[in-house]
Structure 1
Amino acid sequence: MAKTNPGRFFEDYSVGETIRHAVPRTVSGGERALYHALYPARHALYSSDEFARECGLPAAPLDDMAAFHVVFGKTVPDVSLNALANLGYAEGRWLRPVYPGDTISSTSDVIGLKQNSNGKSGVVWVRTKGHNQRGETVLDYVRWVMVRKREPGSDAPEVVIPELASVLKADQLVVPEGLDFTNYDFGLAGEPHRWGDYAVGETIDHVDGVTIEEAEHMLATRLWQNTAKVHFDSGARPDGRRLIYGGHVISMARALSFNGLANAQMVVGLNGGAHANPCYAGDTVRAWSEVLDRAETSAPGVGALRLRLVATKGGDPFALKGDDGKYLPDVLLDLDYWALVPL
């Protein structure tokens, strides 16, 4: 009897099943230190316990995207070990901050299946939840992946495509308990720009760039215990190149956005996202943002901005798609998210 895990194939999923992912992870200050070593992350709320306390939190949480990577990494052996591509995200909500000492585990519900016309692969939709040691949900999101079939000629399952909201409404966002920006220190945060200083339709070139190194990508992917073959094994793809984990690009772009969005402190919603083109070691990642919407919240001094974050490896800033409606070759990431900003 085989004892190793070859990963799931498209035929191994059924709508309605719940997958309990292995290996819970207790996080510590080490995750924060490594995260800030891998990315130029400088948002004050995640860098300083004292700044976080002044904002009503008990201490500085783990960066939101770091929490996302921990939850995501648990799912890879069961969801995307044999994936050809991670296609998108929707309905993502950060429900509780993750603090050093928390133990994070993940479960996924299969909510959709659709075989591709070539009969060699199919798309799997899952809703993943991350939980802390008290059983509280800290993160909830949907993603869909293209997964290989074990037997190309096998029967196709019944098509189930879930209905997903294109955008989270502002009242669906969860503001962490106690968060209060009324005494927010703009000097320590690094920029003077408030919620009211951003206009819908405004675009921001974040100016800076970072060249992706193979060693950093490998360290990051191992840190999050992401075992997807295309990120580690150069023989997993016909071109012999290892793909940079899409989450690595997300975190790099989010960190670069500090220059112009230093006060977009907390990510609380993920409306959608696409990894438009592959990223490889040697690519220099740059980023720009567009303000899509604004909303007030019930928390004192706290507003929300809906932002489009685009990562590129060159080309003109603010260029996204060509006349054919397809992403331009230099576009790596198109992410639509909500962030909390002081009023």
Structure 2
Amino acid sequence: MSKTNAGFFFEDYHIGQVIRHAVPRTVGSGERALYHALYPARHALYSSDAFAQGCGLAASPLDDLAAFHVVFGKTVPDVSLNARANLGYAEGRWVMPVWPGDTLRSESEVIGLKQNSNGKTGVVWVRSRGINQHDEVVIEYVRWVMVKKRDEAAPAPETVVPDLKPVLDVSDLAIPEGLNFSGYDFGLAGEPHRWGDYQLGETIDHVDGVTIEEAEHMMATRLWQNTSKTHFDGTMRDDGARLIYGGHVISMARTLSFNGLANAQMIAGLNGGAHANPCFAGDTVRAWSEVLDKAETGAPGVGAIRLRLVATKGGAPFTLRGEDGKYLPHVLLDLDYWALMPM
């Protein structure tokens, strides 16, 4: 009997199944240093304990997307090791900050199943949660993936497609306890633009670009302990190329958005997202954003801003879909999220 793990295939899932993922991980300042080196992130609240304390927090938390990647990476061996594609996200919430010294583990519940018409693959919806050492949920999100079948003759399960919110309401967002932007230092943050300066429908070209390097994406994916074969094994594709982890593109685009959105300090909610086209080493990632909505929160001086973040590998900014409604070939990522910003 084999002792190795071949991963889950489509017929291994059932509605209501809860998967506790290995292996818990204690995070610290090393993860922050590596995250800032890889992308390079520079939002002030995640760069400085003193700045975070000036915003009412005890210290600087771990970057929101670094925490997401740690939680996501745990799910890969059980959810997407045999995936053909990661198809989308919904109902993502950063419930509470992750602090250096926290130990994170992940678990996922299967909430949807649908076999594809070709009988070779199916779509699996899971709600994944990151849980700290106090058994508190720190992050939760839904994602759906296309997974291969082990046996194409296996009967199709009953189709269950979950009813997911297209957009989180501002009341769904968890504002970190104590967060207060009333005394926010715009000079140290890097830009003067506050919540009231952004208009619905406004688009922002973030100008800068970063060329993806093979070594950096490999290091990042290892850092998050993401074991998906397509990111490491050059024999998985006919062209020998290793697919860039989609989360690597998300973090790169978020980092590029600093130029124009330096005060969108914390990601609080993920409404939806799609990895529109594959990214490979050598591609130069650029980004633009569109302001979709704004809302006040109950925290002093804290506003919520809903943004579309688009990562591209060329092409004109602010172009997204062709006349056929499909993403244009240069679009890598289309992400819809809520961020917290000083009012």
TM-score (normalised: structure 1)? 1.00
Partner of 2:66: 66
Q: After TM superposition, list the pairs within 5 Å mapping 1:303-342 onto structure 2.
A: 303-342=303-342
Partner of 2:26: 26
1-structure distance, mates of 2:169, 2:50:
31
The Cα shift of 1:6 comes to 0.5
Partner of 2:100: 100
Partner of 1:15: 15
The Cα shift of 1:241 comes to 1.2
2-structure distance, mates of 1:96, 1:310:
26
Partner of 2:110: 110
Give the aligned residue type for 1:250. I
Partner of 2:89: 89
Tell me which moved more, 332-341 or 147-156. Answer: 147-156
Residue 217 of structure 1: SS of its match in structure 2?
A: helix
Give the aligned residue type for 1:214. E
2-structure distance, mates of 1:316, 1:40:
24
Q: After TM superposition, list the pairs within 5 Å mapping 1:25-64 onto structure 2.
A: 25-64=25-64
The Cα shift of 1:240 comes to 1.8
1-structure distance, mates of 2:116, 2:241:
25
Partner of 1:177: 177
Q: After TM superposition, list the pairs within 5 Å mapping 1:1-343 onto structure 2.
A: 1-343=1-343
1-structure distance, mates of 2:123, 2:239:
23
Give the aligned residue type for 1:229. K
2-structure distance, mates of 1:71, 1:198:
32
2-structure distance, mates of 1:191, 1:162:
41
Residue 208 of structure 1: SS of its match in structure 2?
A: strand
Give the aligned residue type for 1:180. N
The Cα shift of 1:238 comes to 2.7
Q: Tell me which stretches of 4 or more aligned residues in structure 1 moved more than 2 Å.
A: none
Residue 168 of structure 1: SS of its match in structure 2?
A: coil
2-structure distance, mates of 1:240, 1:35:
27
The Cα shift of 1:40 comes to 2.0
1-structure distance, mates of 2:85, 2:237:
12
Structure 2: where are the runs of 5+ without partners?
none
1-structure distance, mates of 2:296, 2:261:
17
Give the aligned residue type for 1:149. K
Instruction: Provide the aligned C-alpha RMSD in A.
Output: 0.4
1-structure distance, mates of 2:240, 2:83:
16
Residue 22 of structure 1: SS of its match in structure 2?
A: strand
The Cα shift of 1:85 comes to 0.3
- Once the two structures are superposed, what CA deviation does each residue of 1:40-59 show, in whole Å capped at 9, x if it has no partner? 21100000000000000000
2-structure distance, mates of 1:149, 1:329:
29
The Cα shift of 1:173 comes to 0.5
1-structure distance, mates of 2:56, 2:7:
43
- Once the two structures are superposed, what CA deviation does each residue of 1:86-126 show, in whole Å capped at 9, x if it has no partner? 00000000000001000000000000000000000000000
1-structure distance, mates of 2:38, 2:160:
39
Tell me which moved more, 150-159 or 182-191. Answer: 150-159
Residue 235 of structure 2: SS of its match in structure 1?
A: coil
1-structure distance, mates of 2:61, 2:278:
31
- Once the two structures are superposed, what CA deviation does each residue of 1:15-70 show, in whole Å capped at 9, x if it has no partner? 10100000000000000000000002110000000000000000000110000000
The Cα shift of 1:237 comes to 2.0
1-structure distance, mates of 2:153, 2:213:
40
The Cα shift of 1:76 comes to 0.2
Structure 1: where are the runs of 5+ without partners?
none
Number of equivalent positions: 343
The Cα shift of 1:154 comes to 1.5
The Cα shift of 1:236 comes to 1.4
Give the aligned residue type for 2:247. G
2-structure distance, mates of 1:31, 1:64:
12
2-structure distance, mates of 1:239, 1:141:
33
Give the aligned residue type for 2:289. S
